């Protein structure tokens, strides 16, 4: 959730559990959380995703959710020689990776690209982490090694299959269609960071690219004429991306948390009358309400404007 009972209770007038029962408050928090995410057109909180995209002949593809997490590490000695699948994979560090599903059985488990040879990679999912291990691992084929150059682990995971068709064709996105982070594509990171708030995956060229975006002129410069950059080949649903995106627990921007808490407070205050009051009386009590606007979202849109997804 984007806010908590404690955060809402700190707002003047919201801490009276007799007037605002905790069960009711939790229900309102859930409703406000859903409303904010719907308005922002984003999930906001860190989750793992499996999505399909169409190549458009462009250098970059735009990922639906952001910030996109980026992680790279290597296999540690404790898992060297282990044959996949393994429940636990030992690595040098899990910094930068999705910490896992936090025990939620309905959550999509995050994915890893795991190197099993000089040019071979496989995909593994996991449910948890420690500082140096991925736990609850599942899937993958091949043998792990800690030998340098054969021991990479990375996220996100990208597949290119011109006949993949959003995963609906037979044998779509076979293991052989998996691409290599840092060799065939890169995540465009924010300056000095380990995430991409832009949510961009860029196709890159280089030796070994084959027909997937390799143009020799990029490797041999010095000409004055224009050159063609590597691009994601055209194709309907030809790209499968397994990635993690969103803000980690406790790292949701303060403006979003503030807006959600204030929306809950507004819900509580307007519940008796159905809308914000425009005036009240004391003798023979009377009141009138505002009817010219939608009160709940109207006062918090400025706080959310920076984080709202826009189409251009």
What's the rounded mean pLDDT across residues 249-254?
Answer: 90
Is the CA virtual torsion 238, 246, 155, 136 positive or negative? negative
- Using alpha carbons, list the distances in angstroms from residue 134 to 60, 129, 137, 215: 30, 5, 7, 37
pLDDT value of position 224 = 56
- Using alpha carbons, list the distances in angstroms from residue 207 to 184, 204, 219, 225: 9, 10, 9, 22
What's the rounded mean pLDDT across residues 69-95?
Answer: 97
As a whole number of angstroms, the distance between CA 53 and CA 242 comes to 11
What's the rounded mean pLDDT across residues 216-227?
Answer: 51
Tens digits of residue pLDDT in 165-180: 999 999 999 999 999 9
As a whole number of angstroms, the distance between CA 33 and CA 45 comes to 11
Residues of the chain above pLDDT 90, percent:
66
pLDDT value at 311 more than 80: no
Question: Would you give the end-to-end CA distance of the chain in angstroms?
Answer: 29
What mean pLDDT value characterizes the chain?
86
H/E run at residue 25 = helix 22-40
pLDDT value at 280 more than 70: no
Query: Is the pLDDT higher at 306 or at 159?
Result: 159
pLDDT value of position 219 = 46
Q: Which of 11-25, 181-195, 284-298 has the lowest mean pLDDT?
A: 284-298
pLDDT value of position 303 = 81
User: Would you place residue 232 in the very low, low, confident or very high pLDDT band (cuts 50, 70, 90)?
Assistant: very high
Query: Is the pLDDT higher at 307 or at 13?
Result: 307
With beta carbons less than 8 A apart as the criterion, state whether 213 and 204 touch.
yes
Angle at 103 between CA 42 and CA 67, to 5 degrees: 25
pLDDT value of position 223 = 55
As a whole number of angstroms, the distance between CA 44 and CA 23 comes to 24
Tens digits of residue pLDDT in 108-162: 999 999 999 999 999 999 999 999 999 999 999 999 999 999 999 999 999 999 9
With beta carbons less than 8 A apart as the criterion, state whether 142 and 115 touch.
no
Q: Of the candidates 20, 81, 61, which has an alpha carbon nearest to the alpha carbon of residue 232?
A: 61
Q: Both tokens of residue 263?
A: 């929306």
List, in order, residues 6 or more apart from 130 with CB less than 8 Å away.
94
What's the rounded mean pLDDT across residues 281-298?
Answer: 58
pLDDT value of position 206 = 47
Q: Both tokens of residue 152?
A: 């990479």
Domain ranges in the chain are: 5-44+252-307, 47-245
Q: Which of 76-85, 136-145, 223-232 has the lowest mean pLDDT?
A: 223-232
pLDDT value of position 152 = 97
User: Would you place residue 297 in the very low, low, confident or very high pLDDT band (cuts 50, 70, 90)?
Assistant: low
As a whole number of angstroms, the distance between CA 55 and CA 162 comes to 9
pLDDT value at 208 more than 70: no
pLDDT value of position 106 = 94
> What is the value of pTM for the model shown?
0.84
């Amino acid at each position: 959730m984007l806010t908590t009972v404690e955060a809402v209770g700190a707002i003047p007038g919201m801490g009276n559990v007799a007037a605002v029962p905790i069960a009711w408050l939790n229900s309102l928090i859930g409703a406000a959380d859903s409303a904010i995410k719907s308005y922002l057109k984003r999930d906001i909180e860190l989750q793992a995703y499996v999505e399909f995209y169409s190549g458009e002949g462009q250098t970059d593809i735009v990922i639906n959710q952001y910030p996109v997490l980026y992680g790279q590490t290597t296999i540690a000695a404790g898992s060297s020689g282990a044959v996949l699948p393994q429940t636990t994979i030992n690595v040098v560090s899990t910094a930068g990776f999705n910490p896992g599903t936090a025990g939620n059985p309905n959550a999509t488990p995050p994915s890893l690209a795991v190197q099993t040879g000089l040019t071979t990679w496989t995909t593994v999912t996991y449910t948890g982490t420690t500082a140096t291990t991925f736990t609850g691992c599942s899937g993958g084929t091949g043998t792990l090694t800690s030998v340098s150059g054969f021991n990479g682990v990375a996220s996100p995971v990208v597949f290119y299959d011109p006949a993949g068709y959003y995963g609906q064709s037979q044998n779509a996105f076979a293991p052989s269609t998996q691409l290599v982070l840092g060799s065939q594509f890169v995540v465009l990171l924010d300056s000095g960071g380990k995430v991409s708030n832009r949510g961009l995956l860029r196709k890159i060229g280089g030796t070994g690219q084959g027909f997937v975006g390799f143009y020799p002129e990029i490797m041999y410069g010095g000409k004055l004429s224009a050159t063609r950059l590597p691009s994601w080949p055209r194709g309907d649903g030809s790209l499968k991306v397994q990635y993690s995106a969103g803000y980690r627990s406790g790292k949701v921007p303060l403006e979003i948390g503030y807006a959600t808490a204030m929306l809950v407070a507004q819900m509580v205050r307007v519940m008796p009358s159905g809308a914000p009051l425009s005036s009240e009386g004391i003798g023979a009590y009377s009141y009138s309400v505002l009817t010219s606007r939608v009160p709940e979202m109207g006062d918090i849109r400025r706080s959310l404007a920076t984080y709202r997804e826009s189409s251009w």
